Each structure stands twice: as C-alpha cells, then as structure tokens.
Structure 1
C-alpha cells in the first residue's frame, strides 16, 4: 500500500489539483458517487437542479444497474457526472494536511477547475458543466482520435512527433489536445479516415473516440455561440487560488479580469487546441508542489501526467520504470480514483 512521506511537523503538504475531462466515467466508475459521496448536500442540490430542468438525476444515472455505452458517455450525461465526481472529490481533500497551490484541468475539466479555484460558485460551476455537456454536442460533422507517440518507456522521439504533425497537416486533421506522450486530433470524419495511411510507424494504431466531436477546433463554433448566449460573464470572478488554463497561462486572484476569463472559457478554450502538457509543465515548474492530486472519477490522466514529468525529468524521473518505482515507494501523483491512494488524502 502506498504511504506518504513524513513532512516537517506542522507544515502542510502542497498540492496542485487536476480536474479530469470527458472519457473518465466508464463502466468501472459506475456507482462512484454512491460509493464516495452518498448523502452529500451538494449532490442533492445537483439532482434538484436537473430535476427542475426535466433531466435524469445524477444519483439515478450513477446508480444504474449496468453501464450503458450508448447513454453514459454522451456529453449531456458524462459532463455533469464527471463534474460532480471531481468537484465533490475536491471538497473531500483534507485541508488540515494539504494546501492547494493551484488548480488545472483537461478539456472539459476546465469547467470543474473554475469551480474548484473559486472563479465561479459551486452552483454556477455545475450549471456550466451541465450546459456545456449539451453544448458540446452542437458542432459541425467530425470527431476525435488519440495518437500514442510515447514508447514503452513513455518517452517521445521528437522525429516521430514531427512526422505525426506533418501527416495531420497533409490530410487536414487538427491538433485537439496535447496529453504528454499522446496527441488527440480532431477534424472531419473523412480526414480522420485518411490519416492512418499518412502516419509514421507508431506504438499502436490511432484510436477513434466514439461519441466525441471535433473538440477544441473551429468546428465547435456552434458550441461556443450557444455557451456565450446562455452562460453570462457575470458568473465569473477572480480565482481564489491560481488557475492554470489550456495554454499554460496562470490566472491569479489580483490579476484576473473576469470578462477575459469568461471570454477565454467560451472562446479559445472551445475553439483552439487544449495543451494539457503545457498546463502540467507550468504546474510543476512554477508551483513545485509536494504532490499532484488527480480528482476522480477514473485515473486515465495519470499516464499523461507521468509522461509530462518524464519529459521534464521532474524529480529525476526519466522513464516509466522510474515513475512507477516512485509511485510504489512514495506517490507523487495521488489519484483519487484509486482507492488506496484516495484514503491518503481525504478527510
């Protein structure tokens, strides 16, 4: 079982919190809210909001007898489920022992990060995530695919990365999300179909993401327009703790213009590539936390975080083997979706 190292008596350990995005609530996560957050007044509030709007309650979706691959991954279902799991996990952190230095997120996890950092209220954070789950289904035709560039040691050959980017440019596929040793790409279905024949040899073939649109590209303009029309800038304020966005920009309490934060959230964040690698690089270099806490559900971002650490040789970690060894001895990355690690940091 993982154990946390002993720190100086009276000193809180510092953490950067990471909020997950789409694709993290799958069959193993069914029942996550019931297992970890049953009886939460905020969960009851989220259910009341959805009930008033004629939408299925999160407790009902989470408490289904079995995972429905046609229902649970859908944007209007997955987004509020994932947001609720992650935000309630954030509230469960033991603040007597851990100090949050900064918050970031991946893709749709940005909306959860806004609430965790205090840039929007809990109520508005859920309203944004719930609305954007629906808005994310408004886009021109297209989808996403994941390209794995990292080898078994979780390192990326720069030549392979350049060849992948050139192949994408030739067929009109756009970068969507940078995830450590992975690149999520997006574009019209025909362009994604043509991509495979152009790619260099890779550790595995690209994986198409069912039910995903061409997120973080100009093809999402309808989603951005819907967000701007229904989610007011008045909901936004300055974050109470630093907030790292999908470009690696840090939004700080006394430097943030709420109007600019709203504009980024429903503009660039939807229509341009989301660079989670840059966000994590800034989190490590600028904040140098004792730990990184990955909120649930799931732990799929763990690989991208580890690969980013390897690229930076953070804590002298330069391979998957060294990263795994460190995780076994004294986990730097604490995933709340992993039961043994969750118990180390919750109240």
Structure 2
C-alpha cells in the first residue's frame, strides 16, 4: 500500500451553498451520517428554526431564504464537516486546518478544538449573530489580471483610497477579507457609496456588493461579538488536536494552545478585524508543506482564492493561472470536493 499523502484542509465560508448545492447534504451524507444530521436538526428544532434536512431538501433554491445568515451558516457547516469526515484517512494524513471567514468555525470542529456537535451550535448561533451589526455591508473587488497575476500598484492604490474614505467623518470603510486576487471591503453605507464612486478601475468584474452580507470583520460587528461571547461559553473549547491557522496567519498548535485564548480570538478579533485568508493559506503551506490542499464542500468557489494565494508566493513554481491549470491537469495540488472527479480522489469512493 502506498504511503499516505499529507493534506491541508481549508473550510469554505459564506456564499458557497448555492443553487447547485441544494440537496447535496442528503445526497452525499444522508445515510452514512444520519445520526449527526439528526443532531443538527434537533438543535435547529429546539430554537424554532427550519431544520438542515428541510432546508437542504427544499424543492427549489431561494436566494431570500438560503442566502440568509441564519440559514447559510448551518448549511455550510453541515456540508463542510461531513465532507471533512468523509476524507479517506488511509490515503491522506491531514496535517493542518484553515478556513475562510465563517469557515473558521468549521475549522474549529475539523481541528478538534470543539466537538462536531458544538461546532454546529457555534455556526448556527453565529449565523444569527452575523445579522447583529451596524448598518453596512461588503463589496468585492478584483486586483489580479486574467492570468491571476497582481496588477502592479492596484492593491496599494485601492487600499489608499479605502484608508482615505475611512478617515472621513461619518464614513466607515476598511479591508474585510484578503482573498489574494480579490479584496472584500466592508463599511457603512456612506463608506460603501464613496468607494463605488472613487475606486480606481479594476480588472475583470465590476465591484460587486455582496447580497445579504453585513460589514463583517470590522468594528461595526460589535453587536455580533458581544452576543457570541455572552451565548457561547469557554467550556465549548478544547486544545486542538490538529494545527489551526487563523485569519492572522497565527498557528494554534496541537496540544499546546490555550482554549480560553482560542475562544477569545474566535469571538473577538475574528469578528472585528480583517481576515487575511491569503496569508493563512500561505503560512499553512510553508509551515506544513502539504502534498495537497483539500477543499470540502459546499461548492468549489474558494478554489480560485486558494490558487491565487499559492501564486502569490510562487508555491512549487506555480506563478500564474496557466501554471495552476497545467498542474491540476497532471498532478492536482487542489482537490475540491465540490467537483465529482476530485471528490472521488479525496474520499476514495468512485
């Protein structure tokens, strides 16, 4: 039997459970993980919320329903953690966990810092808490060209505009998430309006206002942070069994991290300060040198940001979109479980 390959697992965040993912939890996991799904459903039912089974089994995908924070968060968590539990451990040795934004709460459970059931409790609560914030939202802008190479000077110019707008009276605007090739900027309505009016030209898509998103990862989320700390106690947290790389690029090492500090980060800094997803991936691959990166579902939209993070440091000589595509075609470095052929490789099941 061949030796196991090492793997970094990256948990996706908001916006990944879409129309194409409807029904995927039941389809992939309904039989094998029926007891866990029943636990998730019971937690929702106790709070008077529609269950995961009901939401995943809806006749049609509803943007108004399925994209709402209190619905999206538990669906994404359920899909992610059940995919994680489906990884073929005979083929892959998971050496570290990272996550994007809300995916941090999935990462906590993947890494053993909280139980799978408590991870659902946290994600479900944070789906509700994410709607407790000051007025505002997020805008997504691209800062790389069609080959995923940085446009010279664009990132610096854009962040300069953001800093200028954020310093004006009545305007709140700041970096929310660094996705390598894209930046998510968040603020109040005045700050967002000024950004749309003053942002320099960017390649690819026009600046995109993310529907249903609050001003995540900024001080405007103080209500969410306060509510999380009041509702979700320290006792849910343990020392992780796998290394966790957070949104600062900080590593929470296995068997050597303070659960109370991890709790404080998860419901403080993680909510109120920028989330540097690109740095988390870059630190993880430098520190643990995984053979592959596994992206659990739902969906595979985070794959581009992972690839762009690798391009940013020239990981294994991957310096462009073309390089990444060529590598994927011959010896995939990224296994997205939202893609059937790559899912089969990750799970060992055809």
TM-score range, shorter chain: over 0.9
1:283 and 2:284 aligned: yes
Structure 1 residue 10: Cα displacement: 3.7
User: Within 5 Å, which residues of 2 pair with 1:1-347?
Assistant: 9-39=1-31, 40=33, 41-172=35-166, 173-203=173-203, 204-347=205-348
Task: Indicate the SS of the match to 2:98.
Answer: strand
2:169 alignment partner in structure 1: none
Task: Check the 8 A contact 2:241/2:255 in 1, yes or no.
Answer: no
Q: Distance in 2 between matches of 1:66 and 1:22?
A: 19
Q: Distance in 2 between matches of 1:168 and 1:32?
A: 39
- TM value normalised by structure 2: 0.95
Answer with 190-199 or 126-135: which moved more. 190-199
Question: C-alpha deviations, 1:103-130, integer Å up to 9, x for none?
Answer: 0100000000000000011111110000
Answer with 310-319 or 69-78: which moved more. 310-319
1:4 alignment partner in structure 2: none
- TM value normalised by structure 1: 0.96
2:170 alignment partner in structure 1: none
Task: Indicate the SS of the match to 1:225.
Answer: helix
Q: Distance in 2 between matches of 1:32 and 1:307?
A: 27
Report runs of 4+ in structure 1 exceeding 6 Å deviation.
none
Q: Distance in 1 between matches of 2:227 and 2:200?
A: 38
Question: C-alpha deviations, 1:52-83, integer Å up to 9, x for none?
Answer: 22211111101111110100000000000000
Q: Distance in 1 between matches of 2:282 and 2:83?
A: 23
Task: Indicate the SS of the match to 2:308.
Answer: helix
Structure 1 residue 200: Cα displacement: 1.7
Structure 1 residue 322: Cα displacement: 1.0
Question: C-alpha deviations, 1:178-212, integer Å up to 9, x for none?
Answer: 00111000001121111123222211321000100
Structure 1 residue 157: Cα displacement: 2.7
Unpaired stretches in structure 1, ≥5 consecutive residues: 1-8
Answer with 98-107 or 33-42: which moved more. 33-42
Structure 1 residue 158: Cα displacement: 4.2
Unpaired stretches in structure 2, ≥5 consecutive residues: 167-172
Q: Distance in 2 between matches of 1:228 and 1:197?
A: 37
1:3 alignment partner in structure 2: none
Task: Check the 8 A contact 2:138/2:184 in 1, yes or no.
Answer: yes
Answer with 169-178 or 213-222: which moved more. 169-178
Task: Indicate the SS of the match to 2:227.
Answer: helix
Q: Distance in 2 between matches of 1:220 and 1:37?
A: 34
Question: C-alpha deviations, 1:2-35, integer Å up to 9, x for none?
Answer: xxxxxxx541100000000000011111111121
Q: Distance in 1 between matches of 2:331 and 2:255?
A: 35
Structure 1 residue 254: Cα displacement: 3.0
Q: Distance in 1 between matches of 2:283 and 2:117?
A: 29
